[in-house]
Structure 1
Amino acid sequence: MLEVKDIVKTYNTGEISFTALKKVSLKIEKGEFTAIMGPSGSGKSTFMNILGCLDKMDEGSYILNNKNITNLKEEELAAIRNKEIGFVFQAFNLLPRMTILENVELPMVYAGISEKLRKEKSMTALEKVGLKDRIKHRPNEISGGQKQRVAIARAIVNNPAVIMADEPTGNLDTRSTLEILRIFQDLNREGSTIIMVTHEPEVAKHTKRIVKFTDGEIVSDEQVKDRVIIE
């Protein structure tokens, strides 16, 4: 599903050089639910940005869904982002002037999908996250937990190869956090591959595998032994 080998990423600001990733290698199989953890500055966000084709590595290789995307141009990476990757961010990133339905349709607009099919697929995605009755609302008319559910619907609407979630519960209360984790677990049971950055051990316990970063390197990679499953 996804494999990176010997990834190196260095940032240069003036005379200062900082290596965020030091020959990182990782393989994630189809259907895994993986948490990426580590303190601030550990490299986990840089790693996720590279996995999500939002940033380029300086060295190393990247295979995603049987495609070598190591040396693709920006426009090719944009197509990969839209087709193969579903993003869920801490800040939701919904467009305030659009309805819930229009926000979910957005990736398909960029993909050139017909209006009729866009609506059908968006309704199906919103039904999966329990928001089919909110399609005409705008983001400022729903709660934070509901906003994140809309963001998940938008992430899955193109049937991506992998869902990448960056601190998806960071702005949510306990009840909403559990709702979001239940949705992720349901999607994973249906076959979705999910990679989630989190700094909260209690959230990571809901995944199947935890990969920890420190100082730009992977320091542990373990299956979750006492996994919390939400029915």
Structure 2
Amino acid sequence: MKKVFTILSVTASLVFATAQNLVQNPGFETGTLAPWAAGWNTSYTAPGIIADAHTGSFGANYAATATTGFYQNVNVTAGQQYTLSFWFKIGGTGNGGRIWSNFLDAADNPINLVSNADNDPLRTNNQYLPKSAAWQQKTIIFTVPANATRLQLHLRAYNNSSVSFDDFSLTTGTLAIGEVTASKYRLVKNTLVKDDGITFGAQVKNVKVYNMFGQVVKTASVRENETLNVAELQKGNYIVTGMVNNEPVSQKILID
């Protein structure tokens, strides 16, 4: 027998421990790149900040004629689990784009996450991101290696490729649920998720999906009636949080 329970959309009194987004200028809504920068190779150039975005007004775009990329340094804690998420779309005849990240110790020396990049989840298992004319989301959960104090979050684009990035999120922490109150906003339409997708009833910023251990397992920003694919999540209870019209809203869901 399937478990049946009442779903209540709730607002503030959710307590977060270090669950804020650690990426600065994550959606390029300043209209500039900083504190992102071109690199790490000196031949790399900065992406264009253009009016083509997953959400908001701006996104970062390359019309690449050679291998290029940009990055941002983020302070992290060794041994801590983090969730990285970003949106992308890729076209052209080249290899497209991918994430390419390094960890540094306190002396700014690089730390090898694994001996073989094929096993490194931050490099998408040494594969390129899939090509798509529509925005897609990539989410990676990883643990910072011993002695690391900083993550260099790199994105690359390759020759003969059009590559766009937007809405980066890097979070960690736990979720505790205190007293809650009903919300006038409908966050999730299908609180019993049976088709690998959560459909949202409003435009929601900073969506986070938490498992029952308080871990962030998915992040996004979505439009009203947009469906977020959660096929990678196991069956069970989750909590979805986000901002609707600048109001924090949360909802319990069951993935079955």
Task: Identify the structure with bigger relative contact order (alpha carbons < 8 Å, sequence gap 6+).
Answer: 1
TM-score by length of 2: 0.24
TM-score by length of 1: 0.26
Larger Rg computed on CA atoms: 2
Structure ranking higher in strand proportion: 2
